[in-house]
Amino acid sequence: MDFGAFSMKTPENWTYIKQRGIDSFVGKIALDKNDTLQFDYGLYSNSLEEDLGYIITKDSVFTYEENENKNDTINRYVQKFYAKRDTLVLEKLYKTEFSFEVINNLRAKIVKPKKSGIGLTGVYFENTKPNGKGMRFQISGNNLSDANEKEFLKAIRSLKFRDWKSTSHNTGFALLLGLGFIWKV
């Protein structure tokens, strides 16, 4: 699939779904009727850090739960004690694992679920140019089927980013990925 700003080798049945971004190029890719990926190419793309849903203090771990007191309109969520920190292996709370590798001469963070089908699968590039003057990029999907997870992990290793200075889009100013966000080149 060629998105102009980047390309990726994908199965033919994957379908691009256009989205409208404010300060970045965003979109979705339907893998089938159940699974969808989303991508964000811009200055503030998500680094795919997992939100545990836990608050970890020096000695305790708490969860956020919806406040059962419906008369309390200020505190929608309350903290509930979960465990003493020294009795818990924090890594077990994570649904995902991550590693780093090089894809097309760029450092990439690969995120995948510990158990297929439960959690986030994706890739994050802190910079899309080897010289450090690119943007951030992430593409990810939640709770993908085992088959889609495997195809996606294969596809992300084929990601390639365009050098915008060598494309017809450069006229002194670059129209960021055709969406109206202008920044000086």
For residue 167, what are its two tokens?
């494309």
Domain boundaries, the chain: 6-50+94-184, 54-92
pTM for the model stands at: 0.76
Q: pLDDT tens digits, residue range 24-57?
A: 999 999 999 999 999 999 999 999 987 777 788 8
pLDDT at 78: 81
159 phi and psi angles, rounded to 5 deg: -60, 135
For residue 153, what are its two tokens?
């992990």
Average pLDDT, the chain: 85
Calculate the CA dihedral of residues 19, 16, 31, 28 and round it to 10 degrees: -20
Q: In the structure, what pLDDT confidence band is assigned to residue 110 with cuts at 50, 70 and 90?
A: very high
Task: Say whether pLDDT at 168 is over 80.
Answer: no
C-beta of residue 112 within 8 angstroms of C-beta of residue 144: no
| Domain 6-50+94-184 bears CATH identifier 3.30.70 | no
DSSP E strands in the chain: the ranges are 6-7, 15-18, 24-30, 36-42, 54-56, 60-66, 77-84, 96-103, 106-113, 120-125, 136-142, 160-161, 173-176, 181-184
Q: pLDDT tens digits, residue range 118-167?
A: 899 999 999 999 998 899 999 999 999 999 999 999 999 999 998 655 44
